[in-house]
Amino acid sequence: MLAARSEVQVDNDEVRVTEWRLAPGSATGHHTHGMDYVIVPVVAGEMTIVAPNGERSRAQLAAGKSYFRKAGVQHDVLNETSTEIVFLEIELKP
Amino acid sequence: MLAARSEVQVDNDEVRVTEWRLAPGSATGHHTHGMDYVIVPVVAGEMTIVAPNGERSRAQLAAGKSYFRKAGVQHDVLNETSTEIVFLEIELKP
């Protein structure tokens, strides 16, 4: 698996904003979210999500349609499509 | 001036995410930001910003390129272009 690419856009006492780019065939690798976060898809796409128990699910991304998740989420995120996935992760510092 | 349209996507104890759409010729109206915030442009575009003293400036927006501002900012935001401006405002609750 290729590695997803990330670039920090904002990082201060309150928030960290990271742009994630997943080329076709790439993955973030398994990780645990240490902070509550908001995801903002920049382009439409489909993510494959793999839970720690190996269970797989698909999630549709629409450009500009955000969602919120609490800290503690554990998963791997894969791009099994033929188009790049781009989203911003906005982590809310406690 | 037409009014900008807004839709709240997320609102909880920590964060409020609002999608703003400014059609050509529309404006948010003068407002003061009560919370620190992150802006995520969803499409490329150009905003006209009017300060309380009437001074005007232009700001380029690139899709997915975020920026952070502290509470207290006062301005009107106008769309003087021929294409719709779309961005998310992510307000960080204290």
Give φ, ψ of B75 to 5 degrees. Answer: -170, 170
- On the question of pLDDT at A83 being above 90, the answer is yes
Q: A66 vs B86: CB contact, 8 Å cut-off? A: no
- On the question of pLDDT at A1 being above 90, the answer is no
ipTM over the 0.85 cut-off: yes
Percent of chain B exceeding pLDDT 70 equals 100
Spatial neighbors of B17 by CB under 8 A, at least 6 apart, are A38, A40, A66, A68, B8, B9, B10, B11, B88, B89, B90, B91
CATH at residue B25:
2.60.120.10
Q: B17 to chain A nearest CA, in Å?
A: 8
pLDDT at residue A13, rounded to an integer? 97
Distance CA A23, CA A11 (A): 24
- Tens-place pLDDT, residues B32-77: 999 999 999 999 999 999 999 999 999 999 999 999 999 999 999 9
Among A37, A39, A87, A88, which would you mutate to test the B interface (most chain B Cβ atoms within 10 Å of its Cβ)? A88
- Tens-place pLDDT, residues A3-48: 999 999 999 999 999 999 999 999 999 999 999 999 999 999 999 9
Distance CA A50, CA B77 (A): 42
Q: Which residues of B touch A36 (CB under 8 A)?
A: 14-15
Total count of domains within chain A: 1
Range of the domain at A20: 2-92
Q: B42 vs A19: CB contact, 8 Å cut-off? A: no
